[in-house]
Structure 1
Amino acid sequence: MKDMLKRIFLVIFVLLVLTAISGFFFMQKHPLGGKQPVTKTHTPSGQTVK
């Protein structure tokens, strides 16, 4: 019984990790709010560097 519970929790954990990783990569291509993906870095002076 314990082995079965361990296997169930392991499968759920792996599915959650895969969902998080795939969601992360999906949000890199399709950010919320219609904004472009973050490709610019901001310098401390406020200027954007391409």
Structure 2
Amino acid sequence: MKLTYAVVFEKAPSNWCAYVPDAPVCVSVGDTWEEMLEMIDEALRASAD
């Protein structure tokens, strides 16, 4: 089963942040866009288990 979530991305002065409004435990902060994307993907996969 494939689930689709909205993800909110925010650029801070020194990093990137992402969170999933429908899954409050899914929050990610990374120094780069790529790092933040990897981390939010991991958080979503972990919350689905």
TM-score (norm 2): 0.37
Higher helix share: 1
Q: TM-score, normalised by structure 1?
A: 0.36
Considering Cα pairs closer than 8 Å and 6+ residues apart, tell me whether 1 or 2 has the greater RCO: 2
Structure with greater proportional strand content: 2
